[in-house]
Amino acid sequence: MILPKMSAALLSMSFFGSAYACADLHGHTSLDQWVVICGAANGAAAVFQALPHDLAQHRETAKTHISRFAAESGMSALEFEPLFERGLTEGQRLVASRSTLFTPRKVALLDGFHHDKHIAYADVRRAFSS
């Protein structure tokens, strides 16, 4: 079930400027799945040569916002790092294996990635609450 959500998030990033933009596509997505999705966005950006410090900032923003939402919602601690790494690997694989789908949207996907590395917590909370 996570692969369609991951694909939807990456396409959302490339069409709407954020992996979080189309929360309707992500109905009933768990926080664990969101961590994997964020990792996939990071992995996709890495395939398209995003700079290491941008990748690190995106990762930290995702970790901060997801951890904050979990704490505010009374959820238990997340296994962020292993889930993010899983998503990163899957995102790289997905973009490489579906290059005809993602390569034409490379610039837009990277623009969405750069947006999400600075995304406001309120926007993320809204997506998680949808």
From the list 98, 102, 101, the residue with the least C-alpha distance to 112 is 102
Q: Own/partner pairs for 98-103, CB < 8 Å, 24+ apart?
A: 98/7, 101/11, 102/10, 102/14, 102/44
pLDDT tens, residue by residue, 106-121: 999 999 999 999 999 9
pLDDT at 2: 59
pLDDT at 56: 98
Distance of CA 75 to the CA centre of its chain: 20
Token pair listed for 15: 């069409």
Q: Is the pLDDT of residue 1 over 70?
A: no
From the list 96, 90, 119, the residue with the least C-alpha distance to 13 is 119
CA distances to 28, 56, 67, 125, 129 from 72, in Å: 18, 24, 9, 10, 12
pLDDT tens, residue by residue, 45-81: 999 999 999 999 999 999 999 999 999 998 876 789 9
97 versus 46: the higher-pLDDT residue is 46
pLDDT tens, residue by residue, 2-43: 567 777 777 777 777 788 876 655 567 788 888 988 999 999
User: What is this structure's pTM?
Assistant: 0.89
**Which of 94-98, 101-105, 123-127 bottoms out in mean pLDDT, i.e. has the lowest?**
101-105
Burial of 78 (0-12, 13-18, 19+ CB in 10 A): buried
pLDDT at 85: 96
The domain ranges of the chain are 2-129
